[in-house]
Amino acid sequence: MIVSQPRREADQGRMLRDALGVLRRRRNRVIVCTLGAALLAAAHLTVRTTRYTAEAVLALDARKVQVLPLDTVVSRLPQESPVLRTELDVIASRGMAERVLEKLGEAAPPDAERSLRSRLFGTSDAAIEDPGRRDAVDDLLDGLRVTNDGRSFTIVVAYNHVDPVRAAAVANAFAEVYLEQITAAQTSATRDAGEWLGRRLDALRRRLETSENGVQAFRRSAGLLEAGGTTLQEQRLNALTAELAAARTARAAAEARFSAALDPTGGDVRTDLFDGPALQALRRDLAAAERALDEIERSGALKSPDIPALRHRVASIGRQIVAEIARMRGALADEAEIARRKESDLAAAAAEAERELGRVRAAGVQLDQLEREARADRMLYESFLNRYKQTVEQEGLSAPEARIISRAEPPHVPSTRRLPVAVLALGAGAGLGVALAFLQERLDRRIRSVRRLEEETGVAVVGELPEPERGRGAPQLLPVTEPGSAYADAVRRLVATLDCPRNVETAKIVTVTSVERQDGRTTLAVALARSLAAAGRRVIAVEADAVSPQLAAAFGAIATTDLAAVARDRFTPEDVIRPDPKSGACFVGAGPSGGSPGVLVDTEGFARLIDHVKRRFDVVILDAPSMATAGEALPAAEYADAVLLVARWKRTGLDAAATAVRRLALTGVEAFGFVLTGCDADVEASGGPVPVRFVPAAAEAKPHPLRPAVAPRGPNAKIPRPAVAARGPLAEKTE
């Protein structure tokens, strides 16, 4: 559902008016609470002692002074809100307060009892709390306030006391003790760190010596001696490997020479493969002999005696050459055998060296582990040694990370502000009064709001009758005796709302009933009849309450007729109709009958009485019993063209009003509207009268079985009621 802007504005205006109405009705509650708070504030300010507040301002240093490029033992405070909040708590702690007492010279020495208890139970004097010291700390903390604005690193230490000098001294003492504590904490931490590092260095030094000695001992036991970066085993293996390669080369060369010295076909000597001084000389001698023999033969001296000699010489030299070659071949064979033996010996030595190197390398793995441990111990020792030297250098460099930027001075103006306390008290009292007013309004189920009554019942308020002023007489006489009074004017507005016509063929019936007893329904019925009569209407008021009839007494007459007798036709209508000499209206009064109105009103005689007065008068007013009388008002309401429910302002309950409307609705009767009596200045304006004209009853209305057809019933459904927003429990749901 879409709500337009004017509708929302109207709802907001209505809510504002409702709130103002609640405050107007409950103004006494608000006034009482406000005055009570004002009196309490006045009493508090009267007995309150004048106090003074002194402030010392600290600033946490965001800049870092680096004298030496060293890491400090105690790190700087992080510039964060939680850290700043922690520092505020440290300043406001009990430990800080105890140090301030000592600085001010107010810390009491331990008494004899505390000293005796400390010696008996083995506890220190500090562990046994002194009640006087505890009270002094509590008093000191009561006046302390440590704050920060949340936007800077400035800490304000404020102290409140009756003595301004004392306030300034305590504020400065807290600031100074805080700075001393920061410096002492840094110095103590640095000294403790140096001592711990010294002890740790001694242990690390002994551990490093043990590790390095273990490495050397293992190296000697495993034979892992090095020269030039390599072990002796590796050097020996490298040398043997080189010699073995040379031996293999020499052996191959010797075997090749020996193989080449043999004739591959028959083992003849190949002189061209051998060389040597002796063999060369034999070859020269052989060549000279062969040349000489060849020269003799070419000369033709075949029978020369030198030929046999030369031939013998050539043969002899040839045999010598063969013998020399055989000797040289044997030398080559020996050389090859020696080379093979040398190679075999070198191979065996290399294999042994390789096995030794494997064993050494296996031991080297363990040696590497020992060396790594020794190196780690050395690195750890050196790092601790460097840190120890840095810490020793920092022992004289401790400085607080905060400074006092404004020392506290004895204030001249007291910090006690009377006006804020008074304003706060008045505001709190007024707020409490308003809250109680709205709470009481919500819990109060009596009629105190026209709008709330209309919302919870769905029936409009058509009349608001004020409480008549004292000394002006009975209210039912005011429409005649004082027509200009507020009460008479309210009755005339109600008449205008009903808008009863004149000189109609059949009078219209208005049933006046009440939600509860003593709501003023009979007074309203008589005042309404006299006001209608003063306006020129022919009006009659008929008593419909047989249990406690009051209509005749309200008109100032004595009731002599029994309503039961009228209902049983023992009297004619003209016999019971009596005029009112003060206004010209008529009424039918009756005395107590002892019967039930639900039986007497639902009789044929009463129906004939109503039919008679309807033809003679313009308006018939039935004074019906209260709705609280177990349904006795319902039969009289069935005759009505309009049912007025009378409720007492500030006395009738909202639940009872809703129940009355519901009971009428269950019988098919719809209430025309509420009339509030006894209203005062707190009543809300209902918007003025809403003119509603009577509509003739439908001819096809079904008659009552006990009533003649000439006496038509007057269903009030034929009279439109003033429009009320559908918000009550009996209202229909609409979109």
Question: Hey, how many other C-beta atoms are within 10 angstroms of the C-beta on 121?
Answer: 9
Q: Is 56 helix (H, G, I), strand (E, B) or coil?
A: strand
Task: State the average pLDDT over residues 580-594.
Answer: 82
- When mean pLDDT is compared across 125-129, 138-142, 359-363, the lowest value belongs to 125-129
- Give the confidence band of 681 by pLDDT, cuts at 50, 70, 90: low
Residue with the larger pLDDT of the pair 699 and 618: 618
Structure confidence at residue 585 as a pLDDT band (50, 70, 90): very high
What separation in angstroms does the CA of 604 have from each of 72, 508, 564, 567, 667? 114, 19, 11, 7, 20
Query: Regarding predicted confidence, which is higher, 230 or 79?
Result: 230
Residue 125 pLDDT exceeds 70: no
Confidence of residue 646 (pLDDT cuts 50, 70, 90): very high
User: Residue 734 pLDDT > 50, yes or no?
Assistant: no
Give the mean model confidence (pLDDT) for residues 168-176: 89
Q: Tell me the C-alpha distance between 610 and 563, whole Å.
A: 13
User: Which amino acid would we find at residue 35?
Assistant: L
Q: Whose structure tokens read 């002023």?
A: 469
Report the pLDDT value the prediction gives residue 121, as an integer from 0 to 100: 45
Listed range (260-269, 304-313, 392-401, 644-653) with the worst mean pLDDT: 260-269
- pLDDT of residue 266 exceeding 60, the answer is no
Using 50, 70 and 90 to split pLDDT, how confident is the model at 707? very low
Q: Which amino acid is at 230?
A: T
Sign of CA dihedral 482, 483, 484, 489: positive
Q: What is the pLDDT of residues 41-77, one digit of tens each?
A: 777 667 666 788 888 888 877 555 444 455 554 455 5
Tell me what pLDDT residue 530 has: 92
> What value does the mean pLDDT of the chain take?
75
Mean pLDDT of 343-369: 78
Identify the pLDDT of residue 417. 63
Per-residue pLDDT, 240 = 79
Percent of the chain exceeding pLDDT 90 equals 7
- What is the separation, in whole angstroms, between the first and last Cα of the chain? 7
Task: Please report the pLDDT score of residue 62 as a whole number.
Answer: 58
Mean of the pLDDT values across residues 98-106? 85
pLDDT at 15 > cutoff 80: no
Could you tell me which residue, 472 or 429, shows the higher pLDDT? 429
Burial of 151 (0-12, 13-18, 19+ CB in 10 A): exposed
Identify the H or E element spanning 641.
Answer: none
Q: Where are the beta strands (DSSP E) in 332-491?
A: 402-406, 461-466
What is the dihedral angle through the alpha carbons of 75, 76, 80, 86, rounded to the nearest 10 degrees?
Answer: 80
**For the residues 362-366, what does the mean pLDDT come to?**
73
Q: Read out DSSP for 222-288?
A: HT--EETTEEHHHHHHHHHHHHHHHHHHHHHHHHHHHHHTS-TTT----GGG---HHHHHHHHHHHH
Of the spans 68-82, 110-124, 508-522, 584-598, which averages the highest pLDDT?
508-522
- pLDDT average, residue stretch 679-700: 46
Quote the pLDDT of residue 689: 40
Q: Do 494 and 706 touch, CB atoms closer than 8 A? A: no
Per-residue model confidence (pLDDT) at position 675: 93
pLDDT of 621 higher than 90:
yes
How do strand 461-466 and strand 144-147 relate by DSSP bridges?
unpaired
Q: In 10 A of CB 475, how many CB atoms?
A: 24
pTM: 0.46
What Cα–Cα distance (Å) separates residue 493 from each residue in 478, 489, 531, 568, 733? 14, 6, 10, 38, 31
Helix or strand holding residue 122 (H, E) = none
- What is the DSSP secondary structure assignment for residue 462, as one 8-state letter? E
Q: pLDDT tens for residues 463-510?
A: 998 887 776 678 888 888 888 888 899 999 988 888 776 666 666 899
Average pLDDT over residues 295-312: 77
Assign domain 448-718 one CATH number from 3.40.50.740, 3.40.50.300, 3.50.30.50, 1.10.390.10: 3.40.50.300
pLDDT mean over 262-286: 63
How sure is the predictor about 674, in pLDDT bands with cuts at 50, 70 and 90? very high
Q: What are phi and psi of 562, to 5 degrees?
A: -90, 130
